[in-house]
Chains A and B, each alone.
Chain A
Amino acid sequence: MIIIGGLMTATAVVAGAWYYLTPKWSRVGYQPIQPVAFSHATHVDQLGFDCRYCHNGVEKSWYSNIPASSTCMNCHGQVLKDDPRLALVRQSAETGQPIPWVQIHRVPDFVYYNHSVHVNRGISCVECHGQINKMDEVYQVQPLSMTFCLDCHRDPAAKLRPLDKITDLNWKWSDNPTVNAEQQRKNGQKLMQDWHVQSLQNCSACHR
């Protein structure tokens, strides 16, 4: 009796730790309330703007910037000029005080992550951020844990795509899943060779 009870408790504790003590539970799904109800679904999916119109540093630097409010005002000087939902944006553009957007994705400070390397090597935003173009409010989709990074670094060919499709988050080689997988294998291997993409598994690639 006692042995069975002990075994059950131990199993439950292990299962609980396995299920809960990982970033898959503790980080995925984080969706803070943002100061302005900005919607990627509206701006990207419906209006068709490119990510790099706003996140214009993503190809050049390790850091993908959140746009300044003057970038919003390029359009919202005319569009929804007096809408109360944009009051904070107008005020911020006038005074120069930034909008206090809440940061969602963040890796620990001892990890050296770099956007430009990935984006210029054919890794799409969708691999790490999910279908941002369908989100009204951004939330975290991937755990961004070390396993997550390494799973791809061991086999980048499974994710590479042509460089002009990086910000097209709906893009696939083919609508048919089996053909898509085949094409990905074939073209991924080829892109790997053409661009000399390495499989980086050294600790010093990410911890330096």
Chain B
Amino acid sequence: MRYFLAIFALCVLAIVGVLGFRGSHSRQPSLYIFPDMERQPKLRPQTANAFFDTGMSSRLPVAGTIARSQPVQVGPKLVYPWEDSPVVTGRVPGTTNFVEWNPMPVTAELLQRGQQVFDINCAACHSKLGDGNGTPKRIGAMAVVANLHDKRIVGLTDGELFNTVSYGRNLMQGYAGNLPIRDRWAAIAYLRALQLSRLGSLDDVPEAARSALKK
């Protein structure tokens, strides 16, 4: 019996020693005990795939092509991304002039979405207030970030802002790849609201509420 106990204890120790405990960190890929059907030869996004010459399963669109199937809802109308429309280009059709105003109907819903898009995508550098003091600049990692309350930028047309957000400008890269068209216009609508918040004067406040603001 004594021998048995000794061998038993050794075996348990050896197994625990080799296999470790639950939850310990490991560099080894996960173990699949019955791997039937767990890995099927189907295409998954962002994986390696030998079928294509680039070796990637996610394919880039052929240069110069535009997705046909995803129209943008503008009020009651659908605008397709190949059309020469201010919604898509930010320009007056047929010219290279930027449009003055946001072609999307500015609703509370659009502004709400705009706030979300802005706080996720723009606040990283420009800060939630839009003053350019996002974390990278505050810790000194980024030298130039535009203050969006700057007089020159407030004076730009909505079309030009759309162009900057889509394709970038100088040190800022474009967000055409990350943000769909509607979200870009939403961010611009919200940016205008942010700018207004600093341009307001006492006269914009309803008569009844003014005394509360006076100190």
Contact of A30 among B30, B44, B56, B124 (CB under 8 A): B30
Known contacts being A25-B19, A53-B120, is A70 close to B177, with CB within 8 Å?
Answer: yes
Q: Give the interface segment out of B32-40, B158-166, B207-215.
A: B32-40
Known contacts being A31-B25, A50-B119, is A108 close to B30, with CB within 8 Å?
Answer: no
* CB <8 Å contact, A29 and B24: yes
Contact of B38 among A12, A53, A110 (CB under 8 A): A110
Residue B107 interfacial (CB < 8 Å) = no
Residue B125 interfacial (CB < 8 Å) = yes
Number of A residues with CB within 8 Å of any CB on chain B: 51
Contact of B171 among A27, A32, A52, A77 (CB under 8 A): A77
Known contacts being A70-B173, A79-B142, is A12 close to B136, with CB within 8 Å?
Answer: no
Contact of B25 among A29, A47, A63 (CB under 8 A): A29
Number of B residues with CB within 8 Å of any CB on chain A: 50
* CB <8 Å contact, A29 and B45: no
Residue B95 interfacial (CB < 8 Å) = no
- Show the binding face of B for A, using Cβ within 8 Å: 1, 4, 8, 11-12, 15, 19, 22-33, 37-40, 42, 44-48, 56, 60, 116, 119-121, 124-125, 135-136, 139, 141-144, 171-173, 177-179
Nearest 4 CB-CB pairings of A with B: A108-B38, A26-B31, A109-B40, A27-B30
